[in-house]
Amino acid sequence: MNTEKKIEKIAPKEIGKSLANFWNNNFRIFFVIFFIIVLTIGGFFWYRNLYTDFWTQEQRNEYRQIKDESVTFKKNEFLRTLEFLEVREKAYKEDKFISRDVFKKY
């Protein structure tokens, strides 16, 4: 009673052919799965960068203090700009005298 298991030898060419056939039949599925994985990872990083807070309260206060010190209101320039805009508005609202209509036949 000799019970030997027969081990079949698989040729490397057959493995290559079967892998190639499997790839040709299913490559679309792999690309769809890969696309979904990449899209999910990209969405995760995008969400994390938009909605997570990396600054401590000290860093926020320091940033606000630096920005508040660097911004100054230039009142004189603002008033000059307002005067300039008022002059332009008055000039626009005035009736203009049109000397001659170019498109009218005389």
Write out pLDDT tens, residues 7-60: 667 777 888 898 999 999 999 999 999 999 999 999 999 999 888 888 889 998
Predicted confidence at residue 14, as pLDDT, reads: 86
Predicted confidence at residue 5, as pLDDT, reads: 63
Q: What is the pLDDT of residues 68-96, one digit of tens each?
A: 877 788 889 999 999 999 999 998 888 77
Supply 36's token pair.
């979904």
> pLDDT category, 4, cuts 50, 70, 90?
low
Residue with tokens 């290559």: 16
> pLDDT category, 101, cuts 50, 70, 90?
confident
The span from the CA of 60 to the CA of 96, in Å, is 55
Residue ranges covered by each domain of the chain:
12-93
Residue with tokens 């320091």: 62
Predicted confidence at residue 15, as pLDDT, reads: 86
| pTM higher than 0.85 | no
Torsion sign across C-alpha atoms 53, 54, 57, 61 = negative
